[in-house]
């Protein structure tokens, strides 16, 4: 359901495949639990063929929206890609990119 981009070694980021955590379920061996803090999120809808549509939205976020935004600043070294089931939108796929922000 999610793709998580988190700061890695300073040169590269870590990319994780994730789902909603249910604490009453056992975590399979080899899996990790990472906590993403609650906060305010800028949510960017993305519609169209992947990966191009996702790449286009990401480019606009980092090169246009964030540098030009006067109300918010980046609030963490991570972001979330939220994916919907492909069967929901077979011809016009929908996903979102969530960026943690805080008021300036």
* Domains present along the chain, CATH in parentheses: 2-103 (3.20.80.10)
Query: According to the model, what pLDDT value does residue 19 have?
Result: 87
Positive/negative CA dihedral, 19, 21, 24, 25: positive
CB environment 31-64: b (16+ within 10 A), e (fewer): eeeeebeeeeebebebeeeeeebbeebbeebeee
Query: According to the model, what pLDDT value does residue 85 have?
Result: 82
Query: According to the model, what pLDDT value does residue 51 have?
Result: 86
Can you give the pTM of this predicted structure? 0.86
pLDDT in tens, 37-48: 899 999 999 998
């Amino acid at each position: 359901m999610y793709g998580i981009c988190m700061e890695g070694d300073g040169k590269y980021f870590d990319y994780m495949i994730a789902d909603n955590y249910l604490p009453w379920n056992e975590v399979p061996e080899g899996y990790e639990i990472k906590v993403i803090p609650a906060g305010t999120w800028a949510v960017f809808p993305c519609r169209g063929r992947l990966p191009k549509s996702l790449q286009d939205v990401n480019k606009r976020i980092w090169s246009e929206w964030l540098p030009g935004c006067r109300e918010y600043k980046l609030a963490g070294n991570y972001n979330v890609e939220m994916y919907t089931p492909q069967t929901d939108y077979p011809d016009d796929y929908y996903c979102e990119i969530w960026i943690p922000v805080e008021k300036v």
